[in-house]
Amino acid sequence: MAETIRLEIVTPEKYVVSEQVQIVMAPGTLGEFGVLEGHTPFLTSLQIGKVRYRDTSGTERAVFVSGGFAEALPDRVTILAESAERRQEIDFDRAKAALNRAEERLAAVNKDNIDTARAQAALNRAIARIKIAETRNL
């Protein structure tokens, strides 16, 4: 069996993941990165996206994260996320409704007093959640 590392994904409200895994891949602000057992320590910020990991049985899993920070150490990866959801916890209909609202807000930018950055972030979150929810094998 491959060497394992501890993965912990934590939000202000709860632990989302706390288990031994074979590999972690996460959406860093400078690009996606991967961590295996024995990795050189580093700290990075995260962008909105999908954290993928392979559990000890070799099954790939996915968790949506809405930004935050990741710390990689030789024996563990800790992700402190603003929000996070396992694929099976994502409410697809709610994510589609959020996508529609964000698109409407962005379309009305010149007509109303819309915070473009906030609307774009909402759009990015909705798109990422929908992509993860549509992936059935993770």
User: Which token pair is 128?
Assistant: 């990422």
Phi, psi dihedral angles at 81 (to 5 degrees)? -110, 150
Q: Smallest Cα–Cα separation from 100: which of 130, 62, 60?
A: 130
Could you read off the pLDDT of 54-99 as tens digits, one per residue?
999 999 999 999 989 999 999 999 999 999 988 777 777 787 887 7
Q: Which residue has the higher pLDDT, 137 or 65?
A: 65
Q: Give the domains, in start order, of the chain with CATH numbers.
A: 5-87 (2.60.15.10), 91-134 (1.20.5)
pLDDT in tens, 9-32: 999 999 999 999 999 999 999 999
Q: What is the pTM of this model?
A: 0.76
